[in-house]
């Protein structure tokens, strides 16, 4: 074992990102492997093990690192993965399996929580010990840092902003509820709104940007080129995001909100309506101390959070 | 100074409740004085001082207690009262004034936060180290306990559930925003809805219960006696409360929500619609671990929280 080294894994539904770092968090190597989730749990676990070996080799070392942090795409608490649909896991005791693969200290956490920790320790959250990280992508997730530690709640599900009701009579969400933020402002929702518009005979200005299927990215490109329908959809999503963030800020009173995820690649389009709605809705006291900023680590925030988690293990 | 004694003060806009207790939290005496806020800050401070002396005398002691906790009706952080309209305080440095009055250790906190702490230490929150206390009264406030400590956020305003948008196109709130929970479900809102109904020529079944002016209590009595208009108003308030609690539970993932405040005196009328909406809206994982329960300390939760705060001072 190499006590001076740590490793982080961002375990996703399609790929496993792994980094080896020194105890200061300087990255020595990074690799990725396919998850092969469709081949079942033993293959996933084997790939986790292989990914660490390969990353260690690439960094010039043999054996294991001294500590390992793993981000899981789903609800996880004290090693139990309650639900991770992309991995086919439900009430899966990952914490029991890991000592069979790794001899070092290992800790698991939800990927959005680790992305928050990653931004706090290495990214746009540095110096802000009370912060909220929100990822707007296919879905919407959030992680909370309070007094420099992850705020996970009673069973690890704190920060469930994506499935929080923003518009009580709003559209049906995949979770079965109506008007969740995710059903109003995620990439999936932006694409769905555009598809519905096209189906109804409108939104023709979006079609030239469609590649295979109508994605949020196409809507963004159409909006950037001045298409009024696309602009209306993007601005609407920004408004709902601003509303959702005002709710989170009222309850949590953070000093920073960090916005990441693929949809934030069009933050230039979303930001004005987002900020306006946020400023209208957030309560005075909480608004006064908070700053909204873009994420600094991009798609690596979860991976860096896993490294930060490992660094805390002794 | 009596190091074995502690005292708590619940400083309100109209009265000052003060209790002296031993270090275990057993109450030895309780008194109340009028605040006399209209006579200005020096009178308020003098009354605070007097209230402690009187409570100590009543308990059979002279001099000061060893530690004192004070709940303030407004936004307070590290001794600075940012805003307490009922006391006429704005950016008032209470923390600087207190050592001029008291020689013992003193700590201040927001009254809703202290009510949460009171219920956690002495009331319906015992054993639940991650909990949310919500008071539904003239206004709506909340306090959060996380891992057995008050969760206050960056500047002491965490838990601002009353001024959180629940219905984006809802009625105007006193804070200037639209559709805040307080504008939809507080006692003030229940009374306002009934008054509007009467003004429009309906709600005649509520009038027999009106005493001086149309209060939420009158609406509750009419509802209890089967008046359909009153029932609709109360059930509506319950529904919005359920929606608001679902949002808080998604973000905070507590194991208990404790409901207090005057409006909860009609919890038998509110509870069914509240619980139904909450169960529809709250996300699965968070809902699974949380219980909704009524407060146990009634109007004394804030006072007991001040005692609990003092007990933690050494």
Q: What pLDDT is recorded for position B46? A: 97
Segments forming the whole domain that contains residue B38:
2-115+300-311
Q: To the nearest 5 percent, what fractions of chain B are helix, strand and coil? A: 45, 25, 30
Under a CB-based contact definition with an 8 Å cutoff, are residues B239 and B277 in contact? yes
Please check whether residues A175 and A206 belong to one and the same domain: yes
Q: What pLDDT is recorded for position A233? A: 98
Q: pLDDT at residue B170 above 80?
A: yes
Cβ of B158 and A255 within 8 Å? no
Cβ of A246 and B82 within 8 Å? no
Cβ of A164 and B290 within 8 Å? no
- B79 Ramachandran zone, left/alpha/beta (phi>0; psi -120 to 50): left
A 10 A CB-CB count for A287 gives: 17
Number of domains in chain B: 2
Q: Which residues of A touch B243 (CB under 8 A)?
A: 165, 168
Rg (alpha carbons) of chain B, rounded to whole number: 20
Please check whether residues B224 and B247 belong to one and the same domain: yes
Q: What pLDDT is recorded for position B1? A: 80
Cβ-nearest to B283 among A175, A253, A286:
A175
Average pLDDT estimate for B160-165? 96
Average pLDDT estimate for B288-295? 97
Q: Which among A64, A19, A23 has a CA at the least distance from the CA of A299?
A: A19
SS3 A76: strand
Residue to mutate among A180, A251, A252, A273, with most B CBs inside 10 A, is A251
Please check whether residues A182 and A132 belong to one and the same domain: yes
Q: What are phi and psi of B177, to 5 degrees?
A: -85, 165
- B86 Cβ neighbours under 8 A, 6+ residues apart: B12, B13, B14, B37, B73, B74
Q: Which residues of A touch B250 (CB under 8 A)?
A: 157, 160-161, 163-164
Q: What pLDDT is recorded for position A196? A: 96
Cβ-nearest to B175 among A153, A155, A283:
A283
Please check whether residues B132 and B277 belong to one and the same domain: yes
Please check whether residues B85 and B215 belong to one and the same domain: no
Q: What are phi and psi of B213, to 5 degrees?
A: -125, 165
Question: If pLDDT is split at 50, 70 and 90, which confidence band does B243 have?
Answer: very high
Q: What are phi and psi of A128, to 5 degrees?
A: -110, 95
Cβ of A283 and B153 within 8 Å? no
Residue B31 maps to which CATH number?
3.30.420.40
How many residues are recorded in chain B? 314
The nearest CA of chain A is from the CA of B178 a distance in Å of: 8
Q: What pLDDT is recorded for position B298? A: 93
SS3 A55: helix
DSSP per-residue letters across B184-251: HHSHHHHHHHHHHHHHTT--GGGGGG-BSB--HHHHHHHHHTT-HHHHHHHHHHHHHHHHHHHHHHHH
Average pLDDT estimate for B32-39? 96
Q: What pLDDT is recorded for position B264? A: 95
CA atoms of B21 and B32, how far apart (whole Å): 15
Question: If pLDDT is split at 50, 70 and 90, which confidence band does B20 have?
Answer: very high
Please check whether residues B186 and B244 belong to one and the same domain: yes
Residue to mutate among B148, B179, B253, B282, with most A CBs inside 10 A, is B253
Q: What are phi and psi of B306, to 5 degrees?
A: -65, -40
Please check whether residues A113 and A198 belong to one and the same domain: no
DSSP per-residue letters across A127-162: T-SSEEEEEESSSEEEEEEETTEEE--SSS-----T
A 10 A CB-CB count for A127 gives: 9
Cβ of A157 and B75 within 8 Å? no
CA angle (A164 as vertex; A231, A301 as ends), nearest 5: 75
Under a CB-based contact definition with an 8 Å cutoff, are residues B48 and B12 in contact? no
The nearest CA of chain A is from the CA of B112 a distance in Å of: 13
Please check whether residues A108 and A59 belong to one and the same domain: yes
Q: What pLDDT is recorded for position A166? A: 97
CA atoms of B120 and A257, how far apart (whole Å): 29
Please check whether residues A101 and A192 belong to one and the same domain: no
Please check whether residues B109 and B129 belong to one and the same domain: no
Rounded alpha-carbon distances, angstroms, from residue A296 to A26, A124, A241, A268, B249? 16, 5, 19, 15, 29
Cβ of A164 and B246 within 8 Å? yes
pLDDT in tens, chain A (314 residues): 899 999 999 999 999 999 999 999 999 999 999 999 999 999 999 999 999 999 999 999 999 999 999 999 988 999 999 989 889 999 999 999 999 999 999 999 999 999 999 999 999 999 999 999 999 999 999 999 999 999 999 999 999 999 999 999 999 999 999 999 999 999 999 999 999 999 999 999 999 999 889 999 999 999 999 999 999 999 999 999 999 999 999 999 999 999 999 999 999 999 999 999 999 999 999 999 999 999 999 999 999 999 999 999 97
Please check whether residues A10 and A155 belong to one and the same domain: no
Question: If pLDDT is split at 50, 70 and 90, which confidence band does B44 have?
Answer: very high
Q: pLDDT at residue B314 above 90?
A: no
Please check whether residues B153 and B107 belong to one and the same domain: no
């Amino acid at each position: 074992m190499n006590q001076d080294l740590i490793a982080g894994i961002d375990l996703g539904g399609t790929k496993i990102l792994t980094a080896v770092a020194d105890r200061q968090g300087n990255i020595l190597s990074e690799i990725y492997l396919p998850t092969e989730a469709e081949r079942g749990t033993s293959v996933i676990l084997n790939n986790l093990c292989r990914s660490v070996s390969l990353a260690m080799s690439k960094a010039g070392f043999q054996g294991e690192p001294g500590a390992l942090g793993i981000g899981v795409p789903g609800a996880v608490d004290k090693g139990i993965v309650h639900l991770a649909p992309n991995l086919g896991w439900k009430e899966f005791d990952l914490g029991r399996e890991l000592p069979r693969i790794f001899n070092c200290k290992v800790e698991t956490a939800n990927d959005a929580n680790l992305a928050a920790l990653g931004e706090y320790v290495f990214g746009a959250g540095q110096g802000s010990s009370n912060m909220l990280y929100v990822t707007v992508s296919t879905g919407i997730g959030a992680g909370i840092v309070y007094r420099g530690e992850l705020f996970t709640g009673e069973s690890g599900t704190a920060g469930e902003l994506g499935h929080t009701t923003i518009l009580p009579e709003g559209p049906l969400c995949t979770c079965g509820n109506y008007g969740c933020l995710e059903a109003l402002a995620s990439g999936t929702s932006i694409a769905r709104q555009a598809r519905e518009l096209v189906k109804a005979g409108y939104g023709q200005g979006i079609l030239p940007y469609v590649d295979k299927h109508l994605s949020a990215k196409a809507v963004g490109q159409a909006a950037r080129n001045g298409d009024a329908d696309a602009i209306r959809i993007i601005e609407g999503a920004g408004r709902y995001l601003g509303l959702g963030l005002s709710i989170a800020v009222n309850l949590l009173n953070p000093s920073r909100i960090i916005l990441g995820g693929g949809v934030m690649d069009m933050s230039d389009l979303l930001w004005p309506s987002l900020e306006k709605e946020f400023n209208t809705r957030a309560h005075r006291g909480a608004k006064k101390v908070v700053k909204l900023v873009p994420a600094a680590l991009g798609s690596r925030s979860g991976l860096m959070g896993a490294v930060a988690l490992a660094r805390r293990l002794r």
